[in-house]
Structure formats: C-alpha cells, structure tokens
Amino acid sequence: MTMKNKGLIGIIALAIMLSGCNTVHVEHQNGNKGKSVIDGEEQHEDRNGAGETTNGEAGDEQEHKNEQEQPAASNDDILIIIDQTEKPIEGSKNSFDFTVQKRPEGYMLTTMEWNSANHNVINSLEEAIQHGGDGEDGFYVSGNGQFMGFFYDKAFSGETGTVSFTFENEQGDSLIWSKEITLH
C-alpha cells in the first residue's frame, strides 16, 4: 500500500469519526420499553405490542426541550486561519496554508473555493486529498489532515478574490465561511 493510499485512508477514517456525532444508542428492556441515550442524556420511549415506538407527551416535551437547548449552527461557529507566509516551493508555484480552528459539531469540510475576476478554482475534499499526494495546483490536504492549503501558479500573485470553505452535516445542511484576500 502506497503512502498516498495510507494518507487517504487516514483522512477518510477521520471524516467518518467526526461525522458520527450525536448518534443515538437504543437499548430495549422487558420488550416494551427502551431508553435512548443522546449525548449522555437518557430518554425513555414506550413500545406497543407490535414493537413500534409510541410517542407520548413526555417524549415530545423532551425532544422539544433538546431542540431548544441546541442552537442552530451558524457561520460564526467557524474559524479558519489563513497563513500567507512565503515558503520555498520549487517551480512556478505559490501557496497559502489554512487551518480550521473551529467548526460546528457534526459538520465536516466538503468544498474549498478560490474565486477572483480571473480564476475560479473549486475542489472537493477528495480532490484536495489527491492534490496533497500529487502536488497538483488547487486546494490540498496532506499528512492525514495535518497540512492544508492552496497551491497556485505565480501568475495568480496580486489577485484579490474570495476564498470559501463549505461545511456540511449528515442532514445536508451547509455553512460557508468566506474571506476576501489578495494572493502574495
């Protein structure tokens, strides 16, 4: 197995682990009742004779209470640091690095984009992982997610544009963090 494949497997494993937040574990007792454990809080559910869950008022109240306690995620829950410190790169390339310092629980990075008057580069997480292994231009993720950045041709230097990062959760909700920068 090549080092590139090992890195890809590591990133995929990390993404699976990060996206498994807020899972529900159900244990059944006495055939009629079960309890769900959601983020360490127990919730009781009744089962009718057919083994189906019945929603009593207490269950609805608890569900409503949990919804109120968990505010909706927003773009303010994302913090990304962009570092344009000059690095020694061979050839006609420049780059900037970025780190995801904060993201909403249950959300994972899915898409990265550079958009200026002259260029539009969009990469999925999978493409960025591939670029981390082969050094191609565009966004990259390498070292099991330890290093992230954007390789670009030196001809892009001086361009002002917007860098955007899209995060999605399992329900398909997405949040976008954007910042206008000038490439060095």
- Domain CATH number, residue 142: 2.60.40.10
Distance CA 178, CA 162 (A): 6
Q: Within a 10 A sphere around the Cβ of 149, how many other Cβ atoms?
A: 22
The residue from 70, 92, 108 where one domain ends is 70
* pLDDT given at position 7: 53
Residues 166, 95: one domain?
yes
Residues 36, 115: one domain?
no
Distance CA 151, CA 153 (A): 7
Does residue 3 fall inside a structural domain? Answer: no
Containing structural domain, residue 149: 75-182
Look at the pTM and tell me if it is higher than 0.75: no
Domain count, the chain: 2
Please give the single-letter amino acid code of residue 24. Answer: V
Instruction: Give 113's strand partners.
Output: 122, 164
* pLDDT given at position 31: 37
Distance CA 71, CA 76 (A): 12
User: Where are the alpha helices (H) located in the chain, listed in sequence order?
Assistant: 3-19, 57-69, 125-134
Residues 85, 57: one domain?
no
- How far does Cα 166 stand from its chain's mean position? 8
pLDDT digits over 45-60, tens only? 444 444 444 444 555 5
Does residue 147 fall inside a structural domain? Answer: yes
Dihedral over Cα of 125, 172, 104, 25: its sign: negative
pLDDT digits over 76-126, tens only? 899 999 999 988 877 788 999 999 999 999 999 999 999 999 999 999 999
Distance CA 74, CA 83 (A): 24
Distance CA 16, CA 119 (A): 32
Residues 107, 172: one domain?
yes
